[in-house]
A and B are shown apart, each in its own frame.
Chain A
Amino acid sequence: MREIQAKLITGAVRQMCIDANTDIGDDILGAFDRAKSTEESPLALNIIGQIEENATIAARDKMPYCQDTGFSCFMVDIGQDVHVTGGGIEDAINEGVRQGYNDGYLRKSILNDPIERKNTGDNTPAHIHVDIVPGDRLHIKFSAKGGGSENMSQLAMLKPSDGLDGVKKFVVKVASEAGPNACPPIIVCVGIGGTFDGAALMAKRGVFREAGKPNPDPFYAKLEQELLARVNDLGFGPQGLGGRTSALAVHVEAAACHIASLPVAVNIQCHAHRHREVTL
């Protein structure tokens, strides 16, 4: 059994919250760089220029890239030979969020209850998903997930007879409806198969993935490229003002499913694709 102190987890989470929110990753900056060579609309190029300038200011002045510093989402892989000491793992993560959002002057956007709607004041509770894996390491992925793009996400329980064409149509439809609301250029995160909740979880995993990193399965990597081309052909472009850069990437995950089912979930991510990860 390898011991990891809870306060070590808290410290790592605090830092990830601040870093991800102020310093957008090279994956997004690289994607914007590539987009500039294919974009045809002068206004879209102007918007991309403003977003790049924003990224520079945010990193330089340690300001949030976006004022919506998101729902603090975590994907945790905990090795079965890890023993967390000095407190519970979820408490340790929540304390890290509390400290990061306070010390980093990040906006607190979490309400206690969907109906009562009182702000908890410290951006907790975080949304935490834990998987138990072999080994003695603790791997924590963080995403600051914005609400505007989250609201444009959808899930469909398709019929198996709808097939791959049905999946493609649904993904393109969701991206089209998201349009200017989701702060494009967007990243379209797709989960195909599994169960109702499993499809949504796979889609959500896309917001933790380096933008544009392909699915290791060549079939799904090819599907990602085809869907990206089709979403870009929608033409809504950066901020929905028209252009060839509607999306920066499509991330697909797939899993085994029931003979009766073809679930498809689409989790829309904005260009503020803020993510970090750490291994303890």
Chain B
Amino acid sequence: MTQGVAQPLKIKVPLSREDVQRLKAGDIVHLTGAVLTGRDAAHKRMYDLLEKGEPLPVDLKGQVIYYVGPAPAKPGQVMNSAGPTTSSRMDKYSPRLIEEGLTGMIGKGYRSDAVVEAMKKHGCVYFAAVGGAAALIAKSIKKSEVLVWEDLGTEAVRRMEVENFPAIVIIDTEGNDLYKIGREKYGKPG
């Protein structure tokens, strides 16, 4: 299955500033440690609090946030299917969260120029997990607890303990973008 592809880099999360700078677009990684989760509704709440000058209920310094709304766990199951959602819906809020100390984001799909600028300025990387590989990804999630905003249901902010969570660096702190690099390499003029 891994023919011609480098072995994944083992990366600890939360993500140190040193690791953030070391990661390059195209790196295949396995993340181990803990990540936060949040998607549309949680991002809006965090952003609104910050705009009002109020503190966040979770500290984002050095944290990696995974854009996910898991399927409900079955009895006795740690985590049901939990793949990434489209990141661009978080673009409006991400620069503000990166400013608060976020060092990594996991999702899928394009990011806006404003997000990339904030990543370069403050030191943050953007990872993609394989969209639609939700059952496979769930196997790397060893524990999950809701931290805040349980009322948001699947969109609540969780702390997930992960072991060898499979991801790929899409955009690094220099602004290199694997989506552009990959398309240029395999595209043919139409």
Partner-B contacts on A (CB < 8 A): 40-47, 49-51, 53-54, 57-58, 61, 63-69, 105-109, 117, 119, 146-148, 151, 172, 179-183, 230, 233-237, 239-244, 270-272
Contact = CB atoms under 8 A, between A and B. Distances in A.
Q: How large is the interface on B (under 10, 10 to 19, 20 to 34, 35 or more residues)?
A: 35 or more
A50 B184 CA distance: 23
B3 A45 contact: yes
Nearest to A185: B132
Interface of B: 1-5, 28, 41, 68-74, 80-83, 85-86, 88, 108-110, 128, 130-139, 153-154, 166, 168, 178-179, 181-190
Nearest to B185: A242
A181 B135 contact: no
A183 B187 CA distance: 18
B69 A107 contact: yes
Given A242-B181, A243-B186, A65 B134 contact: yes
Contacts of B134: 54, 58, 63-68
Given A67-B70, A68-B85, A181-B88, A233 B187 contact: yes
A53 B85 contact: no
A148 B190 contact: no
Nearest to B72: A105
B108 A183 contact: yes
Contact of B81 (A58, A182, A270): A58
B184 A45 contact: no
Contacts of A146: 132
A108 B154 contact: yes
A54 B131 CA distance: 11
A68 B85 CA distance: 8
- Of the listed residues B2, B86, B153, the one surrounded by the most CB atoms of chain A closer than 10 A to its CB is B86
Contact of A241 (B138, B154, B168): B168
B188 A183 contact: no
Contacts of A69: 71
A179 B110 contact: yes
A230 B189 CA distance: 9
Given A43-B5, A240-B109, A242-B181, A105 B132 contact: no
B5 A46 contact: yes
Given A148-B108, A270-B131, A63 B71 contact: yes
A150 to B, nearest CB: 10
A164 B74 CA distance: 50
A230 B182 CA distance: 17
- Of the listed residues A51, A172, A183, A270, the one surrounded by the most CB atoms of chain B closer than 10 A to its CB is A183
Contacts of B181: 242
Given A235-B183, A270-B131, A180 B108 contact: yes
B137 to A, nearest CB: 8
Given A67-B83, A148-B85, A61 B186 contact: no
A180 B109 contact: yes
A244 B3 CA distance: 16
Contacts of B108: 148, 180-181, 183, 239-240
A172 B179 contact: no
Contacts of B71: 63-64, 67, 69, 105-107
Contact of B179 (A63, A66, A67, A236): A236
A110 to B, nearest CB: 12
Contact of B69 (A53, A67, A230): A67
